[in-house]
Amino acid sequence: MSGDNDLTPLHVFRFHVDFLDDSLATGAEGKPVTLCSGAFSECTGLEATMEPKVIKEGGRNHGVIQRAGPVTHATLVLKRGMTSTRHLWKWFSLVSGGAYSHRLSVTLTVSDNAGKPVLVWKLRRALPIKFKAADLNARGTEVGVEELHLAHEGLSQVGVKS
> Does any domain span residue 73?
yes
> Does any domain span residue 151?
yes
Give the angle 55-52-126 at the CA atoms, nearest 5°: 150
> Does any domain span residue 9?
no
Structural domain including 22 reads 17-103+118-158
Q: What pLDDT is attached to residue 154?
A: 93
Q: What pLDDT is attached to residue 20?
A: 80
> Does any domain span residue 80?
yes
Q: How far apart are CA 106 and CA 13, in angstroms?
A: 18
Contacts of 72 (CB under 8 A, 6+ apart): 48, 49, 51
User: For each of the chain's 162 residues, which pLDDT tens digit applies?
Assistant: 445 555 566 667 788 888 887 655 555 555 666 666 556 788 999 999 999 999 998 888 888 999 999 999 999 998 876 566 777 778 888 888 887 778 888 888 888 888 888 889 999 989 999 988 877 888 876 666 678 899 999 999 987 765
> Does any domain span residue 136?
yes
Q: How far apart are CA 123 and CA 135, in angstroms?
A: 29
> Does any domain span residue 4?
no
Residue 33 and residue 19 in contact, taking contact as beta carbons nearer than 8 Å: yes
> Does any domain span residue 6?
no
- We report the CATH number of the domain holding residue 61 as 2.30.110
Q: What pLDDT is attached to residue 68?
A: 96
* pTM: predicted TM-score of the whole model, two decimal places: 0.77
> Does any domain span residue 8?
no
Count of structural domains, the chain = 1
Q: What pLDDT is attached to residue 153?
A: 92
Q: How far apart are CA 95 and CA 72, in angstroms?
A: 22
